Amino acid sequence: MHKVSFDPGLTQKFQGPLTRFINPDGSFNVRRLGTTWRDYHPYLNLINMSWPSFLAMLFAGYLTVNLIFAVIYFSLGPGQIQGVGGDTGLTRFADSFFFSSHTLTTVGYGNIAPKGLEANIVAAFESVLGVLGFAVATGLLFGRVSRPSARLGFSDNLLMTPYQDGTSLQFRIVNLRRNSIMELQARVMLMTVEPSNGDFKRTYTLLRLERDQIIFFPLTWTVVHPIDAESPLYRKTAEELARMQAEVLILLKGYDDTFNQTVLARHSYTVKEFLWDAHFAPAFHADEEGELVLELGKVSAVR
């Protein structure tokens, strides 16, 4: 069964050179062209972007809104806001900016307040905008911190190493977080490129694993594919695999006991990340009290 070729959704035919399908961060190496503004979803973008980018976006939005309203208050004239430090110049603009900040956040210290009708109208609109804006920001923040996500670490290299009476393909994974992942499953595919009628064709083959599931995952798991006569890697050399642009695609699926939801993780190894005739070094040991100690820095250690 594991020798049957199929398309997992990454297409079989292509033209031109291929780098890799799955990036080290688990994302697919696909660049989209031709999208329009109708295809853009701000919520998905803000949920999926990195934390530094998300916080920078919030700060930039907060600063931009305050600058816009500061310009509006400043343009209303010196008589519209009471408590400003000066009638003209930079001081009045700074006071307008801080008044906008007080209004947007609904803090309202009382040292600066709207006086004229126009200023009161603008302040009323800004206060409503502030309440709605911070509600959206709070929802985004909650969505980011409450979203279940696996933080699984993969060994730097995939090993092609002696195993029992033959050879095997091996890589090691570890849970980098303290949450409990149960019933972790692994699916591993070999992708190769072969010429076909003057073109190139990708071939995907599911690799049979020595053990494709574990019940508990508190330590490391070394995933092993025995390379026997039925394996597509049987008697393949490093040069042959490089010519075939071999890439090992990995999908992990487990149950997060903390969030009570299923989590997924993706990874891949290209030929340049294959390491031949090496063995993984132990990544955990028992201390003097008999407790197991896992050393995350040794997940990729070989000997």
Q: Assess if residue 229 is contained within a domain.
A: yes
Inform me whether the pLDDT recorded for 269 exceeds 70: yes
Task: Please give the residue range of the domain that contains residue 293.
Answer: 149-298
User: Do 72 and 204 fall within a single domain?
Assistant: no
Q: Assess if residue 187 is contained within a domain.
A: yes
Q: Assess if residue 32 is contained within a domain.
A: no
State the Cα–Cα distance between residues 267 and 269, nearest whole angstrom: 7
Of the residues 106, 125, 146, the one at which a domain ends: 146
Confidence (pLDDT) at 85: 66
Determine contact, residues 172/280, Cβ cutoff 8 Å.
yes
Q: Assess if residue 186 is contained within a domain.
A: yes
Q: Assess if residue 27 is contained within a domain.
A: no
Average pLDDT over all residues of the chain: 89
CATH number of the domain within which 219 lies: 2.60.40.1400
pLDDT per residue over 61-120, tens digit each? 999 999 999 999 999 988 888 887 665 678 889 999 999 999 999 888 888 889 889 999
Higher-confidence position of 200 and 4: 200
User: Do 156 and 293 fall within a single domain?
Assistant: yes
Q: What Cα–Cα distance (Å) separates residue 121 from each residue in 52, 114, 118, 250, 295?
A: 35, 9, 5, 58, 61
User: Do 142 and 60 fall within a single domain?
Assistant: yes
Q: Assess if residue 11 is contained within a domain.
A: no
pLDDT per residue over 173-184, tens digit each? 999 988 889 999
User: Do 184 and 124 fall within a single domain?
Assistant: no
User: Do 105 and 158 fall within a single domain?
Assistant: no
CB under 8 Å, gap of 24 or more: what pairs does 41-44 form? 43/140, 43/143
User: Do 156 and 202 fall within a single domain?
Assistant: yes
User: Do 156 and 268 fall within a single domain?
Assistant: yes
Q: Assess if residue 26 is contained within a domain.
A: no
- The lowest-confidence range among 20-24, 47-51, 275-279 is 20-24
Tell me the two tokens of residue 52.
């530094």
Determine contact, residues 72/104, Cβ cutoff 8 Å.
no
Inform me whether the pLDDT recorded for 211 exceeds 60: yes
State the Cα–Cα distance between residues 249 and 270, nearest whole angstrom: 9
Tell me the two tokens of residue 243.
């010519």
User: Do 172 and 86 fall within a single domain?
Assistant: no
User: Do 153 and 257 fall within a single domain?
Assistant: yes
User: Do 156 and 287 fall within a single domain?
Assistant: yes
User: Do 160 and 294 fall within a single domain?
Assistant: yes
Task: Give the DSSP per-residue string, 260-301.
Answer: TEEEEEEEEEEGGGEEES--BPP-EEE-TTS-EEE-GGGTT-
State the Cα–Cα distance between residues 27 and 210, nearest whole angstrom: 27
Inform me whether the pLDDT recorded for 257 exceeds 60: yes
Q: Assess if residue 23 is contained within a domain.
A: no
User: Do 126 and 201 fall within a single domain?
Assistant: no
CATH number of the domain within which 108 lies: 1.10.287.70
Going by pLDDT thresholds of 50, 70 and 90, the confidence category of residue 39 is confident
Structural domain count of the chain: 2
pTM equals: 0.76
Going by pLDDT thresholds of 50, 70 and 90, the confidence category of residue 25 is confident
Q: Could you give the percent of the chain with pLDDT greater than 70?
A: 94
State the Cα–Cα distance between residues 282 and 299, nearest whole angstrom: 8
